[in-house]
Amino acid sequence: MTTPRMRWSTQTRLVVSLLVLALFIFLLFRFSVVIPPLILAFILAYILSPVVNRLQKRFQIKRGVATALIYLIMVLIAAIVPLLIAPLLAAQYTDLNLDIQLILGKVEALLGQRFTLLGITIDGGVLIDQISSSFRLLAEPFIGQTLVFLVNVITSFIWVIFILIFSFYLIKDGHVLGKSIEGLIPPDYSQDYVRLRDEINTVWGSYFRGQLVLALVVSVIFTVAGFFLGIPFFLAMGILAGLLEFLPSIGHAIWLVIATILALSVGSTWLPLPNWAFTLLIIFLHTAFTQFDLNYLIPRIIGRRVRLHPIVVILGIVVGALTAGILGIPLAAPTIASARVVGRYIYANLLDLDPFPAEVAQPSLDNTGDESG
């Protein structure tokens, strides 16, 4: 006759749970340097996992082989694309550097004069010399830091390798890990866990894969429009517009400020318009594109599940930047959208309502990322 197994008391369970939580928080702070690379690895796995799924099903090959092929293609693209656009960007950067020097020269000539304000004469030349000396003093500590720079480059390269390897195994064995986690959920909550997981997967998958497509589309639109309008450095400005799509609500404003400065100081490269008129044209077209982006491109490319009010997104970006640095900025929108999903579930259970109403009960299968890391 077997002896009945002694079960933990409620007090023991509480103590063990608190100890495990304390250990987790300690490890989180102790190895916080690993968190950003891990997040980037998970993001990369989210983006590439559906592509691996399709390749595996299409050619009936092992998942490891499909993952390796996708990573090989990605590395080749990452090596070839910069080689193709680098010469054009280098030429535009040289022109930009010359134009900035010209603009600074004009500003220095303007401010270098004597001004009389309320009977007080201010020598602008002396003021500029003092400002230049201050900048030189600030820059001196950064001169001669070549060794530190090389160490940072090597460290970054090691982290890139870590991200690629970790994300590779997340994609290759992510579905196994997901089933293991699902097996730890109590049976009574298993269905709720699957529904929440699918909804959150939809949010993150839609955001990151859609954001890449949106950035590419916006880059092409701005590059072509910049070429025909004569926007200075149209290729660099087009690429910048695509990258700024990762900053919801504030990316458009940043691009417009830069474009306005260039339009006022340089003007169009071929349109016979005064600089002020060209600036107004840029502002008008950019405002129209912003509405097109918000009301057409984003809902169709990213989807409506991640759509949040601009005020919420801006506050999220500020909190994300203060909490997680630059990585917290692009993660703000999907994190808030995920919190909305979890918050709705908690709110419904607190009020004894249906946490999965019919309109959101079944996430789109195209965006679930069911086997993502």
pLDDT tens-digit readout, 293-323 = 888 888 778 766 676 777 787 788 788 878 7
Average pLDDT over residues 17-24: 91
Please provide the distance, in angstroms rounded to a whole number, between the alpha carbons at the two ends of the chain.
46
**pLDDT class for 136, splitting at 50, 70, 90?**
low
pLDDT confidence of residue 277:
92
pLDDT confidence of residue 326:
75
Rounded Cα distance between 331 and 350, Å, is 28
pLDDT confidence of residue 132:
57
**pLDDT class for 43, splitting at 50, 70, 90?**
confident
Identify which has the larger pLDDT, 151 or 159: 159
pLDDT confidence of residue 104:
57
Average pLDDT over residues 332-351: 89
pLDDT confidence of residue 93:
59
**Exposed / middle / buried, residue 164 (Cβ in 10 Å: 0-12, 13-18, 19+):** middle
Average pLDDT over residues 314-338: 81
Non-local (6+) Cβ contacts of 184 within 8 A are none
Report pLDDT digits (tens) over 75-122: 888 888 777 776 766 666 555 555 555 555 655 565 556 666 556 666
- The domain locations on the chain are 34-113+143-184, 190-368
Average pLDDT over residues 211-226: 91
pLDDT confidence of residue 90:
66
In this predicted structure, the answer to whether residue 138 has a pLDDT above a threshold of 80 is: no
Strands 120-123 and 114-117, how do they pair?
Answer: antiparallel
In this predicted structure, the answer to whether residue 363 has a pLDDT above a threshold of 80 is: no
pLDDT confidence of residue 47:
84
**pLDDT class for 364, splitting at 50, 70, 90?**
very low
Angle at 193 between CA 192 and CA 195, to 5 degrees: 65
360 neighbors 304 (Cβ within 8 angstroms): no
pLDDT confidence of residue 160:
85
pLDDT confidence of residue 369:
41
Average pLDDT over residues 127-142: 54
Non-local (6+) Cβ contacts of 237 within 8 A are 222, 223, 226, 231, 255, 258, 259, 262
pLDDT confidence of residue 296:
83
pLDDT confidence of residue 1:
55
369 neighbors 201 (Cβ within 8 angstroms): yes
